[in-house]
Structure 1
Amino acid sequence: MIHPSAPLSGHRPRHKVLVVDDHADAADSLVLLLEQLGCETSVAYTALEAVRQATTFLPALVLLDLHMPQISGLDAARAIRSCRLESKPVLVAVSADTRQHMLQASLDAGFDFHLSKPTPAGQIERMLRETLEHA
């Protein structure tokens, strides 16, 4: 169990994070970690649901799996970016696929970062602090 020294939110409003993965166990585990780190979370198990939630939940950050049925995380990222959301969420690709062309494809689709699965909890906490601490 992760026991961070201090939640990301401190006395400020909690950061909203949308977790998207078609593997429910992976998504739900990540949600638990993020909540321990002080984030307000929402979860989607499909890329289509992710696009819908991005426009209603208005997250500061979206952790999005790349390989999903129906539409890919790449297509979902393009759709989220095309919505021109006022919240301008940070998009983070989360995938076991670390081939160079997939890293480039994620950047081309509008992702800001690419994390490799499995991602250690400490790396997720550092990424959150670096991207959301001053948001």
Structure 2
Amino acid sequence: MDIDELRDAQIRLHGLTKADGRYTFYHDETNNIRKLYIDVGGLNVAELKVFVLGGIVHQGEPRPLEIQSLREAIRIQKSAPEIKLAHVAKGGFLDVLRSRQLTTFLRWVSENGLMIHYHQLDPFYWSVADLIDSIVPSLAQHQPC
């Protein structure tokens, strides 16, 4: 199978533009359990959370990003190696939206020609889909002629 056939079909279906451009992604992940399995006691995790991959992206090759002014504006301690959500906002969804630090962060993103990328994945759904995808090819071999 030619992967470009699938890719091109998705690009056409969703009317995507600039899909062949060069982009630089800066990202972090949360709730990555790495492996999900079921045994007699249930799942190997106490609470199954959605896996999230998100961060910022810009068009083109990697370039220096001046984040010191952002760190100062939202009062990130020098000892903090990364800017996490907890530094920008806390609480429920509406509390997060009211955060002055979030406004400052979003303004910095815009002023620096950046975009936000975000992807969430339900590990249970994709584990089941992966299992089915691995079974389907072998079913075709066992079909009566």
Structure-2-length-normalised TM-score: 0.25
Which structure: larger Rg?
A: 2
Question: Which structure is higher in RCO with an 8 Å CA cutoff and minimum separation 6?
Answer: 2
